């Protein structure tokens, strides 16, 4: 069995099943970053947890490297980073810079601008709102043969409904996810950020992600507690309301070729002005 973007919601509960303080993923031949970062979050939360893998599996070396390796700009692997208030930008930029380093296109710096913005919005949302005891966990990967980029952000916090249910007419986790993707939807931070005095463009974070996904034919899956919602081909679909998770998982995939087409038309600022911001928003960009 593989654990990939394609099937991870379907396989999620089996993949993360804990039996006598152990998770057995030894039957997984290939585990994409989304799977590794989910397991990393569980290991951070429960220090006595043991994850069994298959040493003969093609993913064994990659899996164990990610779980234990630290950032090293000289290495090809992209590590898992733990993000809190004091390193949102630093650790988000590390992931993005390692991804775009492997691209050979002239527009890779422009692509980096988009990715840094997307990752920054996701990390800000998670750090401000999640109340996650393990902070926020992020990793990603560029798949050169498929020409795709995958980035995943995970927390073990309260989920969307806890934050949005007080301000909007939503009553389930899936409703809260769908609501969070709308423009202008926001809620007060669960914690005060000691490093920043305000949040710019409040209510644009997930909406910005959504618009970039839509305009680049990307794919996005969000899990919040028991629900999973997918955005693909400008269509939002509830995949499951029986996911066994506490907190939020956001994973998105972008096609390098589709991103390159968008980059021919827009800089990041132009894209935000066209698809996201109101008329006067760019004055504070």
Give the least confident one: 57-61, 133-137, 239-243. Answer: 57-61
CB 152 within 8 A of CB 139: yes
Query: Would residue 116 count as lying in a domain?
Result: yes
For residue 83, the enclosing domain spans: 79-284
Q: What percent of the chain has pLDDT over 90?
A: 64
Assess if residue 212 is contained within a domain.
Answer: yes
Whether the full predicted model's pTM is greater than 0.85, yes or no, is: yes
pLDDT, one tens digit per residue, over 39-53 is 999 999 998 999 888
Tell whether 220 is covered by a domain: yes
23 inside domain = no
Is 52 inside a domain boundary?
no
Residue 199 lies in a domain: yes
List the structure tokens of 16. Answer: 């993360």
Residues 221 and 229 sit within 8 Å (Cβ to Cβ): yes
Helices (H), the chain: 8-15, 33-45, 60-68, 88-101, 108-129, 160-164, 173-180, 205-215, 256-265, 268-275
At residue 285 the predicted structure's pLDDT band, cuts being 50, 70 and 90, is low
Count of structural domains within the chain: 1
Rounded alpha-carbon distances, angstroms, from residue 69 to 77, 93, 127: 9, 17, 23
The confidence score (pLDDT) of residue 197 equals: 38
Quote the distance between the C-alpha of residue 46 and its chain's center.
21
Query: Domain for residue 208, yes or no?
Result: yes
46 lies in a domain?
no
- 59 with 29: CB under 8 angstroms? yes
**Residue 190, domain CATH:** 3.30.565.10
């Amino acid at each position: 069995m593989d654990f990939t973007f394609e099937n991870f919601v379907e396989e999620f509960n089996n993949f993360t099943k804990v039996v006598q303080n152990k998770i057995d993923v030894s039957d997984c031949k290939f585990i994409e970053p989304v799977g590794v970062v989910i397991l990393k979050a569980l290991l951070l939360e429960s220090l006595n947890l043991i994850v069994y893998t298959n040493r003969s599996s093609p993913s064994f070396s990659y899996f164990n490297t990610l779980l234990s390796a630290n950032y090293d700009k000289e290495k090809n692997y992209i590590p898992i980073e733990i993000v809190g208030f004091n390193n949102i930008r630093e650790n988000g930029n590390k992931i993005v810079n390692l991804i775009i380093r492997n691209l050979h296109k002239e527009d890779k710096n422009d692509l980096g601008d988009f990715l840094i913005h997307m990752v920054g919005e996701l990390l800000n949302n998670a750090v401000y709102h999640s109340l996650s005891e393990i902070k926020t966990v992020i990793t990603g990967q560029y798949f050169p043969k498929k020409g795709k980029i995958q980035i995943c952000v995970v927390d073990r916090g309260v989920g969307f409904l806890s934050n949005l249910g007080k301000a909007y007419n939503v009553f389930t986790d899936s409703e809260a996810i769908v609501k969070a993707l709308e423009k202008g939807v926001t809620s007060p931070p669960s914690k005060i950020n000691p490093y920043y005095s305000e949040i710019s463009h409040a209510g644009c974070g997930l909406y910005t992600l959504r618009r970039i996904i839509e305009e680049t034919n990307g794919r996005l899956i969000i899990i919040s507690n028991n629900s999973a919602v997918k955005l693909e081909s400008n269509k939002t679909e509830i995949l499951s309301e029986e996911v066994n998770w506490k907190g939020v998982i956001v994973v998105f995939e972008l096609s390098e070729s589709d991103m390159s087409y968008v980059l021919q038309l827009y800089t990041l600022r132009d894209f935000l002005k066209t698809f996201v911001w109101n008329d006067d928003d760019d004055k504070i960009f």
